[in-house]
Amino acid sequence: MTLLTIADAVSDETKGPKPTTIAGNANPDAENMLRVINKCGQKLTLSYPWNILRVEKLVTAPGVETLIAASAMPSNFGRFVPETMWDRSSNNLISGPISPVEWNGLKIQTFSSQNKKFIFRGGAVLTAPAITSGVTVAFEYIKKNWCEVAAGGSEKAAFTIDTDKPLIDEELIIRYAVYEWLAAEGQPFQSAYRSFLDYFDILVGNETASANVAIVADIFGQNSRHFDGTPKASRASYGGDF
């Protein structure tokens, strides 16, 4: 689906105005629809770490506290997936992003450990202690771009052309926009809101990985490698068998 077909679907559901074009249309109805749909897409992007928006990033440590300068952060960076940063050389977790309180607590003491921590501050990534120069560090983040140009595939953080396509589920955007439009117009919206929440929960359930499957009597179990949901500090915590 595209911005225009999403807008048409919202109009069909709400029985509201149905402009023939949306982006670049000075008609107040079209401008309102564009704003509602973009607001919904942006909020949905912030509401859950959708798999389609997850990205893995590899960096080479420079050997100083600042692992990644603000100017070197990915242009589509939105937010970190917590506890996904790892030292690929030693297989140790770099825990974070931690809070300013914890970070400043580390800075007033001599903190030396293979289990490092990081904070995201001023657009830069800082680690304590500094990671050895040349070490490969990997982490995952959620990109802020939730839609793309249909023709060229360039990603963007908002719809600006009628043919733009969403990366996140279009039906979810439609249901959320229907609720938002009805609420803003002072019309009954409770049913639309329940429909949106039900569909949101279904999508989240489908996206969520099932942990600890077949632990009991699992003939393929090796030591303690089954993930229990708690980030491990090193490979030794998984049984040391990889």
Tens-binned pLDDT, residue by residue, of the chain (242 aa): 999 999 999 999 999 999 999 999 999 999 999 999 999 999 999 999 999 999 999 999 999 999 999 999 999 999 999 999 999 988 899 999 999 999 999 888 776 666 799 999 999 999 999 999 999 999 999 999 999 998 777 999 999 999 999 999 999 999 999 999 999 999 999 999 999 999 999 999 999 876 555 555 555 555 455 555 566 655 555 445 44
What's residue 108's pLDDT?
Answer: 85
Q: Which residue has the tokens 């996140």?
A: 168
76 DSSP 8-state letter: T
What's residue 153's pLDDT?
Answer: 78
Query: Could you tell me the CA-to-CA distances from 47 to 44, 95, 142, 173, 174 in Å, in that order?
Result: 5, 22, 11, 12, 16
Longest dimension (CA), the chain: 65
pTM of the model: 0.83
What's residue 213's pLDDT?
Answer: 53
What's residue 208's pLDDT?
Answer: 81
d(CA 90, CA 113): 12
Establish how many alpha carbons lie within 13 A of residue 88's alpha carbon, considering only the half-sphere containing its beta carbon. 12
